[in-house]
């Protein structure tokens, strides 16, 4: 069976998006804590960010027409594949320390791997991404491996 992943798509492996620079603010932590019904005082006071805070912090702010059917901004950091249905395939996160107000962070997302597999209902393409979040001083704060499944 011929490969569904072109040489052009494979050339994306190791490619990184431009780094995203952000600053964690107490107010952003507090708003997130209230919106997600956190109960721990350290989150409600904005002294420390809840674990999934980073997920929202990295999301671009886009107009409604820039959102996909799932309500998430369309991601242009994906090679072209013959299969078009994209699904979440899981995320593993390692926190080296909590995020705190005043943290100035740099996040870099890299396409780590592309694999083809045969599923029970047809071909699948698995795309893995690595995200590294570090301080401006180079201290790694969070590492994430996420997977997208395309069918």
* 93 part of a folded domain: yes
* 2 part of a folded domain: no
Residues forming beta bridges with residue 62, ordered by sequence position: none
Q: Residue 123 is part of a domain; what is its CATH number?
A: 3.10.129.10
What is the C-alpha separation between 112 and 106, in angstroms, rounded?
Answer: 18
- Strands 86-95 and 140-150: what pairing? antiparallel
Residue 1 pLDDT > 70, yes or no? no
* 11 part of a folded domain: yes
Range of the domain at 145: 7-150
Instruction: Express each pLDDT in 63-77 by its tens digit.
Output: 888 777 767 777 778
| pLDDT, the chain, mean | 92
Instruction: Express each pLDDT in 138-151 by its tens digit.
Output: 999 999 999 999 99
* CA 92 to the chain's CA centroid: 10
DSSP state of 60: P
- What stretches of the chain show up as alpha helix (H) in DSSP? 7-10, 26-35, 41-44, 53-57
The count of domains in the chain is 1
* 1 part of a folded domain: no
Q: What is the three-class DSSP state of 150?
A: strand
pTM given for the model: 0.85
Report, as an integer, the average pLDDT of 80-107: 93
- Strands 20-23 and 122-135: what pairing? unpaired
Contact (Cβ atoms closer than 8 angstroms) between residue 3 and residue 83: no
Of 100, 107, 118, nearest in space to 140 by CA: 107
Longest dimension (CA), the chain: 57
């Amino acid at each position: 069976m011929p490969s569904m992943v072109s040489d052009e798509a494979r050339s994306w492996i190791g490619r990184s998006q431009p780094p995203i620079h952000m600053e964690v603010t107490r107010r952003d932590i507090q708003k997130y804590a209230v919106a997600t019904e956190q109960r721990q005082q350290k989150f409600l006071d904005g002294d420390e960010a809840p674990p999934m805070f980073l997920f929202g912090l990295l999301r671009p702010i886009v107009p409604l027409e820039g959102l996909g059917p799932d309500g998430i901004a369309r991601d242009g950091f994906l090679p072209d594949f013959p299969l078009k249905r994209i699904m979440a395939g899981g995320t593993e996160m390692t926190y080296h320390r909590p995020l705190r107000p005043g943290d100035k962070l740099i996040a870099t997302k890299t396409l780590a791997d592309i694999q083809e597999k045969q599923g029970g209902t047809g071909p699948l393409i698995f795309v893995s991404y690595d995200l590294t979040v570090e301080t401006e001083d180079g201290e790694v704060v969070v590492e994430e491996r996420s997977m997208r499944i395309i069918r």
